[in-house]
Amino acid sequence: GAFANPASPKLPAKIVGDVAVAEGVEGLPGSVLRLDGKGYLEVPHDKTLDCLGGVTLAVWIRPKSLPAAGARLIDKSPAGVASGYNLDTYPGHSLRMITQDPWVNFDAKLPAGQWTHVAATVDGETGRTVLYINGTQVKETPP
């Protein structure tokens, strides 16, 4: 019922709904989670997740397809409110990082059926936000 969190062992992620673990996935070592919109992982609130000094969010994705409304990848913000952070694929196959302001988005054309590493960083002092795809910086907000 829980997924270990190597970054912070005291904060395991609770499995909510249907989440499958797949072994030996081509192109990636170890285990991966298969999320098909019927489940997700939830980490209970902890002050360390506020990331007041800045944050880096990173995830490997291989979507079969993405809806026009996009998909949340890593999220600590209620829907419709920019009070935390949210890395998602809105609209469709784009990449977007929402923090309080300014937001940053990029028409990434994320490929279906292909592993892609996506990441975002936010500098805690300046608020500068940077998006990365496969290790390459693709967009940033002004400092």
Encode pLDDT of 57-114 as tens digits.
Answer: 999 998 888 888 888 899 887 666 667 788 999 998 999 998 876 789 999 999 988 9
Cα angle 38, 40, 43; round to 5: 160
pLDDT tens-digit profile of 34-70?
A: 888 899 988 888 888 888 888 899 999 988 888 888 8
DSSP element (H, E) containing 11: none
Contact assessment for residue 122 and residue 97, using Cβ atoms and an 8 Å cutoff: yes
pLDDT, position 109: 94
Q: How would residue 143 be classed by pLDDT, with cut points 50, 70 and 90?
A: low
Global confidence as pTM: 0.86
How many CA within 13 A on the CB side of residue 132? Answer: 13
Residue whose token pair is 């939830």: 42
pLDDT, position 105: 93
